[in-house]
Chain A
Amino acid sequence: MSAAAAPVAAPPRNDLLGWITSTDHKRIGILYLTTSLGYFFIAGALALVIRTQLAHPNATVVSAHAYAQLFTLHGTAMIFLFVAPFALGLANFLIPLQIGAPDMAFPRLNALSYWLFLFGGLVIFAGAATNEGAAATGWTAYAPLSAIKVSTGLGQDMWIIGVFLVSVATILTSINFITTVFIYRAPGMTMWRIPIFTWEMVATSLLVFMAFPALAADLLLLFVDRHLGGHAFDPAHGGNAILWQHLFWFFGHPEVYVMILPYFGVISEIIPVFSRKPIFGYTGLVISAFAIAGLSMGVWAHHMFTTGAVNNPFFSFVSFLIAVPTGVKFFNWIATMWRGSISFQTPMLFSIGFLMNFLLGGITGVMVASPPIDFQAQDSYFVVAHMHYVLGGGSLFAIFAALFFWWPKMFGVKLYEGLGTWCFWLLFVGFNVTFFPMHLLGLEGMPRRVFTYADQGQLPALNMIATLGSYVMLAGVLVFAWNVVASTLKREPVGADPWRANSLEWWTTSPPPEHNFDTLPAIRSERPVFDAHHPDVAARTPR
């Protein structure tokens, strides 16, 4: 019998062509992560220009037109090109690893999603090179402000096309995630043993699948209005200016949860590891994710309380209800730390920062869900503060937690803990100094999206404090960048499981081989790797 040589796959190319042509979920994940971080750096730089303009009343750092482009691109990039796609990148890397699969269900579709996302973002930014500049109607692009009569520039069209490409990419990815989780789980990985991060991504993907088509339709209608003689949003020809808002927020509020549910998952993965305990209330965390997702489909018009055109009490009540499953999650995280053995490595610091900041964003969220409060807070800096506490204090802190936590798995080296601690404190202090005063600015009557403000009352002082805080945040981001460079140059390799963590990605090597796993441990709970490495502790853990 002649022994045929076992078929051996050629090792993946590690050059540029290898990365461009890759359909490996880990490479696509890392491409997504680095691209979204690139957009984050640009959007953050734009925010610094905004804060510099607002440091003094009646400043002339930028013109009114430049200012409108700045906050439009800042919001668009942070939401469509950073906070949401970063989660898609993380999920791309993690979902197959967490469920013990070799890759995503549709690897080529996955690559297509990434390239649509990359070029969608580039198209939006390229609008800045056109004659009339980039889009300047805010990330919400309300019609009829975005109609061709008012916003004549090509930049607005490039914004529509770019956001459309990104929304198609996101829909395709959500289909990929759902299929992968339902079909590709390893033997033993029952639904009730799926790690919480992957569960949160299932809920997120369902939301994307329901909400993003409304955005795509809204954008198409706007494009038809602008160039093909449509009048969907033109009241002079039987259209309806409010229709834009309905379609936009039917997408836009679920989008908020698309930008936060994945990070609830990140926090749920990290807190148990650094508390030396299993996650508390696993079932409650899973159910609350789907409760939040379901409720979030019925709250869109709380962005429209001041239109006088919607049923405010209904949308107010459903919005209040979201506080209940969100509260369940908070109490579960606290109970996970309760009586634990808590250590404060950088991922845990950022997770605690997330809890502290996001709590305030959640509470002001309940406040603005009350129409009598919203009548004042809507379109004021109070809402700017609320929204940044959710997406900056919440999602951004979870993003840094995720970077520090999974960096060793992705690249085989740890980021430095000392620089990580500096990064955390600079961002935590800088964030709160920047955004807490914005609550007060809103109460003082400062509208959002203004390039200048009255030299009256507390406005100049509060604005100056906020601007100083934003420079402290810049220092935190620079420390992070230095951490990446320094730790990469030093290259101190780590093992498969540097944190004594729980889920399957910590079973394979760091970084994992192209096919992910040579072996798998027995999967008898949601933390199979921990069970295998600490059988004595696993034996006294209730099922």
Chain B
Amino acid sequence: MPDPYPARVRAKTGYEADVHGQTWPATATTQSSVLASDWLLFTLVGLAVALLVWGLILFAIVRWRRPHGDAGDEYPPQFRDNNALEIAWTVVPLIVVIGLFVYTYRAEADVEAMVPKPDVTIAVNGFRWGWTFAYDGGPTINGAERNPPEMVIPLGETTRIVLTSSDVNHAFWVPDFLFKRDAIPGRTSSFDLRPSKLGTFLGHCAEFCGLDHALMNFSVRVVPPDAYARWRRGASS
């Protein structure tokens, strides 16, 4: 059977083949740099909270464990509330989540911002189980489930994806871009990508769409603008 996955490492292209796994979180587009900073902030805050609370739990069960052979007939102090503490551990987390929300709100606005006039526009259609990439005023690339299509886009320029589906729900996901969007029948949904790294990136359908969902893959190849222009002329003819 043909390999359902696009090759991620292409010989003799000279491009940086695949940044994923070398840096975390991946930052292969301008948008994903914003997304990556949100990941880092939440991971660090989350780790700090986790270490604090795990620490408190472990400290309590070690410090106040009942010794072996002690039947526990001596009862410890029977306190049951402390208003100042309870207000503190309500208000402090509230302030933390409001801060996180403000950050996350701005990050999302940056990622979803769309330029007035994109350099490249591609209509992407998901179907069971493949993808069609139709370049505005250019070629149309057709894929199938065991023949994953490749999208070629220029480095440093803005590509607009206009996404829909012709049967059931799918989702367009390139893990190195830290981004996905659902492809839903009867709706179109648009977003911009501005690649900041050369290379070939693996993409998946992320929304379960039936039998061969796992084989509904594609790849995105980011090339310099002049190489993109050459490719586009060649693909159109």
Contacts and interface: CB of A to CB of B under 8 A. Distances in A.
A449 interface: yes
Contacts of B108: 312-313, 316, 371-372
A64 B57 contact: no
Given A343-B72, A376-B179, A320 B101 contact: yes
B200 to A, nearest CB: 12
Contact of A276 (B34, B76, B86, B209): B76
A445 B101 CA distance: 25
A366 B100 contact: yes
Interface in B140-197: 167-169, 171, 173, 175-176, 178-182, 184-187, 189, 191
Nearest to A454: B5
B180 A376 contact: yes
A59 to B, nearest CB: 12
Interface residues of B, number: 82
Contact of B179 (A279, A375, A450): A375
B213 to A, nearest CB: 6
Interface string A344-376: 100000001001100110011011001111011
Contacts of B214: 64, 447, 449-453
Contacts of A68: 208, 210-211
Given A359-B54, A370-B42, A447-B204, A324 B94 contact: yes
A540 B209 contact: no
Interface stretch (A4-12, A80-88, A333-341, A474-482): A333-341
A450 B213 CA distance: 7
B202 interface: yes
A275 B64 CA distance: 9
A282 B213 contact: no
A283 B70 CA distance: 32
A241 to B, nearest CB: 5
Interface in A177-232: none
A240 B104 contact: no
A343 to B, nearest CB: 5
B24 A542 contact: no
Contacts of B98: 320
Interface in A271-304: 275-284
A339 B56 CA distance: 12
Q: Which interface class (under 10, 10 to 19, 20 to 34, 35 or more) fits A?
A: 35 or more
Contacts of B10: none
A337 B79 CA distance: 11
B124 interface: no
A378 interface: yes
A443 B25 contact: yes
A308 interface: yes
B46 interface: yes
Interface in B10-30: 20-21, 24-25
Interface string A369-390: 0111101101110000000000
Interface residues of B, dominant DSSP? mixed
A281 B86 contact: yes
Contacts of B80: 277-282, 541-542
A30 interface: no
Nearest to A72: B208
Interface string A251-285: 00000000000000000000000011111111110
Contacts of B89: 327-328, 331
Contacts of A142: 168-169, 207-208
B104 A370 contact: yes
Nearest to A64: B211
Given A137-B208, A375-B111, A242 B42 contact: no
B60 A338 contact: yes
A489 interface: no
A540 B175 CA distance: 60
Contacts of A145: 168-169, 208-210
A458 B56 CA distance: 34
A462 B14 CA distance: 30
Contacts of B235: none
Contacts of B212: 64
A367 B171 contact: no
Contacts of A460: none
Contacts of B50: 359-360, 363
Interface string B85-109: 1100110011001101100110110
A64 B215 CA distance: 10
B65 A344 contact: yes
A250 B76 CA distance: 45
A373 B181 contact: no
B53 A306 contact: no
Interface string B62-88: 001110001010111111111001100
A235 interface: yes
A371 B104 contact: yes
A242 B208 contact: no
A308 B181 contact: yes
B39 interface: yes
Given A308-B182, A320-B100, A363-B49, A356 B57 contact: yes
25 contacts: A64-B214, A137-B210, A150-B168, A321-B97, A328-B86, A334-B53, A337-B57, A341-B64, A342-B60, A343-B72, A359-B53, A366-B46, A370-B104, A372-B34, A372-B107, A375-B35, A443-B25, A445-B173, A447-B173, A451-B214, A452-B214, A452-B215, A457-B20, A537-B78, A542-B78
Interface of A: 64-65, 68, 136-138, 142, 144-145, 147, 150, 235-236, 239-242, 275-284, 306-309, 312-313, 316-317, 320-321, 323-324, 327-328, 330-332, 334-335, 337-344, 352, 355-356, 359-360, 363-364, 366-367, 370-373, 375-376, 378-380, 443-445, 447-454, 456-458, 500, 534, 537, 540-542
Given A337-B61, A443-B25, 6 more contacts: A150-B128, A150-B167, A277-B78, A279-B80, A313-B101, A449-B213
